[in-house]
Structure 1
Amino acid sequence: MAHAPAADTGPERSNGLVTLAIALGGLGLLSGVAALFVALRRTPSPARATAADDRAHTSA
C-alpha cells in the first residue's frame, strides 16, 4: 500500500518529462535552423557570385 502514491504521480511526471523533451527538441531544432540561415547569409554563395558575373558579362 505504500507504493500507491508513487503509482499516482508516475504518469503525470512522465507526461511532464515528455513535454519538456519535446519543447527542448523544438528549441534546439529552431536554433539550428536559425544558425544555418545566418551562416548561409554571411558566406557568399559561389552560385550567386557566378550568376552576378554572368549578368555583368552579358550586359557589357
Structure 2
Amino acid sequence: MSPSKFAGYLLANLLFCIWIGYLIDSWTNMTPFWIIAFTLYAIVGSFLIFIHRNKHKSDIRKD
C-alpha cells in the first residue's frame, strides 16, 4: 500500500469511526468515551493493516 493510499484509508477510517462514536455517545450520554475508543481503534487498525500489507508485498518480492 502506497503512503498516499494509506493516508486516504486512515482518513476514511477515522471519519467513519468518529461518526459512529458520536452516534453511540449521543445515544448513551457518555460524551467522549466512544469517540476516543473508536478513534484509537481506527488508528491502530489502520497501521496494523498497513504493516500486514507491506510485509506481504515484501515477502512476494523476495521470491
Which band: TM-score by shorter chain?
0.5 to 0.7
RMSD: 1.7
Q: After the TM superposition, which parts of structure 1 deviate over 6 Å for at least 4 consecutive aligned residues?
A: none
Instruction: Show structure 2 runs of 5+ residues with no match.
Output: 1-25
Instruction: Show structure 1 runs of 5+ residues with no match.
Output: 43-60
Mark the structure with the bigger radius of gyration.
Answer: 1
Percent sequence identity over aligned pairs? 11
Q: What's 1:13 paired with?
A: 34
Residues 38-57 of structure 1 aligned to structure 2 (within 5 Å): 38-42=59-63
Task: Give the TM-score of the pair, scaled to structure 1.
Answer: 0.56
Identify which of structures 1 and 2 has the higher relative contact order when contacts are C-alpha pairs closer than 8 Å and 6+ apart: 2
Task: Give the TM-score of the pair, scaled to structure 2.
Answer: 0.53
Structure 2 residue 44 is the aligned partner of structure 1 residue 30: no
Number of positions where the alignment pairs a residue of Structure 1 with one of Structure 2: 37
